[in-house]
């Protein structure tokens, strides 16, 4: 009985050592896997941080500090970087600038009335809202011209001495095209030269 028990114990000892060795090997493999995964994950965080900060800032010092922050503190450094990093990327800032420039160019090209600031077209002669005169046609080529122009750029016509078409006339003022001259006052000739006394008796009582 004692011999059989001793043989069983001796036979069981090698099998117990093999199981422990197997457990140790498996545990070593698991630890190696986690270490490899942690190393790859750490390198991936560093690379992602470097790419992300390059897309958000052109400052070399900022790029180095952000990358070192994640390289030293790992996930904690990544959380700090996500809190402090710029909100917009350089591409987003560039797109926003393009949109602002496009909107500004559209507002600049859009013509408005100088009087009521209503929107008008380039071929309008007057403002449809307030009647403000915007342009005038050339008397020769009939192209629309700006009111401040002295010469027509299309046919080289001098506009200085020409009347402005479509402008309202002032009644009772002579010398303006399309306006009749003032009639003579009753009892005074219309062509009476200045400085010549009127002929004929004056009405009213004399003292």
**For the segment 155-189, what is each residue's pLDDT rounded down to a tens digit?**
988 888 666 554 444 444 444 344 444 444 444 44
Would you call 191 exposed, middle or buried from its count of C-beta atoms within 10 A (0-12, 13-18, 19+)?
exposed
Can you name the residues that pair with 136 across neighbouring β-strands?
Answer: 145
CB atoms within 10 A of CB 76: 11
Asked if residue 172 belongs to a domain, the reply is no
195 in helix, strand or coil? Answer: coil
- The total of structural domains in the chain comes to 1
How far apart CA 174 and CA 180 sit, in angstroms, is 6
- What pLDDT does 162 receive? 64
Q: Is residue 84 part of a domain?
A: yes
In a domain, 93, yes or no: yes
Give the closest residue to 126 by CA, choosing from 156, 91, 164. 164
Predicted pLDDT at 111: 77
The label of the residue with tokens 């192209």 reads 143
Check pLDDT > 70 for residue 17: no
Say if 51 falls within a structural domain: yes
pLDDT band at 119 (very low <50, low <70, confident <90, very high): confident
Report which secondary-structure segment, H or E, holds 176.
Answer: none
- Whether 200 is covered by a domain: the verdict is no
Which of the 8 DSSP states describes residue 146?
A: E
Q: What's the confidence (pLDDT) of residue 142?
A: 81
Helix (H, G, I), strand (E, B) or coil at 108: helix
Per-residue model confidence (pLDDT) at position 79: 95
**Least confident piece of the model among 106-110, 132-136, 161-165:** 161-165
87: in domain: yes
Which range is least confidently modeled, 4-13, 102-111, 133-142, 165-174? 165-174
Note whether 111 and 127 are within 8 A (CB): no
The pTM (predicted TM-score) of the whole model is 0.47
pLDDT for residue 91 is more than 90? yes
How confident is residue 133, by pLDDT bands cut at 50, 70 and 90? confident
Confidence of residue 50 (pLDDT cuts 50, 70, 90): very high
Task: State residue 81's pLDDT score.
Answer: 95
115, 85, 157: which is closest to 124 by C-alpha? 115
**Domain coverage including residue 94:** 35-110
Looking at the chain, the whole-number percentage of residues with pLDDT higher than 90 is 35
Q: What is the three-class DSSP state of 59? A: coil
- Asked if the structure places residue 193 within a domain, the reply is no
Mean pLDDT of the chain: 76
Bigger pLDDT: 12 vs 102: 102
Tokens describing residue 101: 């420039």
Q: How far apart are CA 109 and CA 114, in angstroms?
A: 14
- Decide if 166 is inside a domain: no
């Amino acid at each position: 009985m004692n011999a059989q028990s001793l043989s069983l114990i001796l036979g069981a000892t090698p099998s117990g050592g093999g199981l422990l060795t197997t457990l140790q090997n498996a545990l070593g493999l698991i630890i190696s896997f986690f270490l490899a995964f942690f190393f790859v994950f750490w390198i991936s965080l560093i690379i992602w941080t470097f790419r992300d900060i390059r897309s958000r800032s052109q400052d070399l010092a900022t790029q180095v500090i952000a990358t070192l922050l994640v390289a030293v503190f790992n996930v904690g450094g990544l959380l700090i970087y996500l809190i402090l990093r710029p909100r917009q990327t350089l591409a987003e800032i560039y797109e926003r600038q393009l949109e602002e420039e496009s909107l500004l160019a559209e507002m600049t090209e859009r013509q408005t009335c100088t009087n009521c600031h209503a929107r008008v077209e380039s071929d309008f002669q007057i403002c449809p809202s307030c009647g403000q005169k915007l342009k005038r046609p050339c008397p020769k080529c009939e192209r629309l011209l700006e009111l401040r122009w002295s010469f027509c750029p299309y046919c080289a016509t001098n506009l200085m001495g020409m009347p402005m078409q479509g402008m309202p006339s002032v009644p009772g003022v002579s010398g303006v095209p399309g306006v009749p001259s003032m009639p003579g006052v009753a009892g005074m000739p219309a062509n009476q030269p200045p400085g010549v006394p009127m002929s004929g008796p004056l009405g009213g009582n004399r003292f």
